[in-house]
Amino acid sequence: MRWKAEQAIRRAAAELGNPSSYRLDKVRAGAGLHRKVFDKTILDMARVGTIELFGNDISGMSGAEIANLVQHGTTIYVSFAFLDVREPEPVETVSVQIDNIEQVQWDKFRYLCKTRENKEAVQKLKEMIYEYVRKT
């Protein structure tokens, strides 16, 4: 859920162009998320260091404008900036050896992967590992 919400926020921010910081009310309008989901995702993104939140001056804003900002305790955040502009770290791969699998089982697994999904058994194992890790 958080991943999808974060992607919606990123898409909405991208539609606003590439300013140094984004107004939360404008991103909220473009993201199309439920109010609580948007607020929680923004606060989570700030907590893990994906974005930096800014609590600018709100004295010239109307009540309706303030209501569309993100509040955490007594702090009202007006805008944010993405911090994750660094290069991704290189991926380290490992080789895996599966023990105690009978040849008949392996051959049947390879056959089913190819006939059901048109995939190699190794590719299917990778997908299964990614899916298992993603759910935990």
pLDDT, position 136: 62
pLDDT, position 84: 64
pLDDT, position 115: 94
Burial zone of 6 (CB within 10 Å; 0-12 exposed, 13-18 middle, 19+ buried): middle
Provide the residue ranges of all domains of the chain, joining segments of one domain with +: 2-82, 88-136
pLDDT, position 110: 94
How many other β-carbons are positioned within 10 Å of the β-carbon of residue 31? 22
pLDDT, position 94: 84
The pLDDT tens digits along the chain (136 residues) read 588 999 999 999 989 888 888 989 889 999 989 989 999 999 998 888 888 998 877 778 888 888 878 888 888 889 899 886 555 567 788 888 888 999 999 999 999 999 998 999 999 998 898 888 877 6
Write down the pTM of the prediction.
Answer: 0.58
2-82 is classed CATH 1.20.120? no
Where do the H-state alpha helices sit in 16-97? 24-31, 35-48, 63-67
